[in-house]
Amino acid sequence: MFTHKNFSLEELNTETIDGKRFYVTPQGKLPSITTVLSILSRDAIKKWRQRVGEAEANKISTKASRRGTNVHAMCEHYINNDLDAKKYLPNDRETFNSLKPVLDEHLDNIYAQEVPLWSSYLGVAGRVDCIAEWDGKLSVIDFKTSRKLKKKEYISNYFQQCAAYAVMWEERTGIPINKIVVVIAVDGEEPQVFEEKRDNYIYECVETIARYRKEQSGNYTS
């Protein structure tokens, strides 16, 4: 059983504009950090879709999205101490079961899950997977799924996302977080766990946000 701190934050509405997600905040409509960081993988995804064909790419993407959603949901319910695993397909349960020992060993004292956050400093918003203690240190924790093992140098966008959440959390709560953790469930492999410091990636994140704003010609808020 995980211990919960019962930390609550105000819910935010979202809007989709030209295929991009925005959060409606007291500062106005701010782009999702996921939308912003998607510019980092845009070219690679385009090349991949051209290589495998649109039909196959859509099939793979739909399957990956469904699995990712289900595994995220299982993690959320498990951490909330209310998981009913029988509701999920066997392959999703198998993926989650690879993560379960990692969560049991490292995670406790849950501050928040799937809560919306936003930052006036960064000008972005998002919904964080989990804020909790990882090996006793308050951390931003993000869950991912993958068909193959990831090299750390290729997932800067994951770390930038977590760094942004850490800044958002501190702005909204006054509680600083410097540790970020990315947990990846990989098909047929042991989960990958990457631990980093917020300050190693927040400046890259700021640069990515600036690039996004430039591409949007100043229309990223309203």
Give the tens place of pLDDT for each residue, 91-104.
899 999 999 999 99
Predicted confidence at residue 48, as pLDDT, reads 46
d(CA 129, CA 22): 18
For 26-179, where are the alpha helices, taking DSSP H only?
A: 33-37, 42-52, 54-79, 90-106, 156-173
Predicted confidence at residue 83, as pLDDT, reads 94
Q: Which residues pair with 140 in a beta bridge?
A: 131, 180
Round the CA-based radius of gyration of the chain to a whole number and report it: 17
d(CA 77, CA 95): 15
Please check whether residue 1 is in contact with residue 81, taking contact to mean a CB–CB distance below 8 angstroms. Answer: yes
Predicted confidence at residue 210, as pLDDT, reads 94
Predicted confidence at residue 222, as pLDDT, reads 42
Q: Residue ranges of the chain with pLDDT lower than 70?
A: 41-52, 54, 56-65, 217-222
d(CA 16, CA 8): 25
pTM of the model: 0.90
Residue 81: exposure state from Cβ atoms within 10 A (0-12, 13-18, ≥19): exposed
Query: Quick check: helix, strand or coil at residue 215?
Result: helix
Please check whether residue 149 is in contact with residue 189, taking contact to mean a CB–CB distance below 8 angstroms. Answer: yes
Options 2.40.440.10, 2.60.120.620, 3.20.20.80, 3.40.1350.10; CATH of 13-215: 3.40.1350.10
Predicted confidence at residue 60, as pLDDT, reads 58
Predicted confidence at residue 215, as pLDDT, reads 87
Please check whether residue 185 is in contact with residue 95, taking contact to mean a CB–CB distance below 8 angstroms. Answer: yes
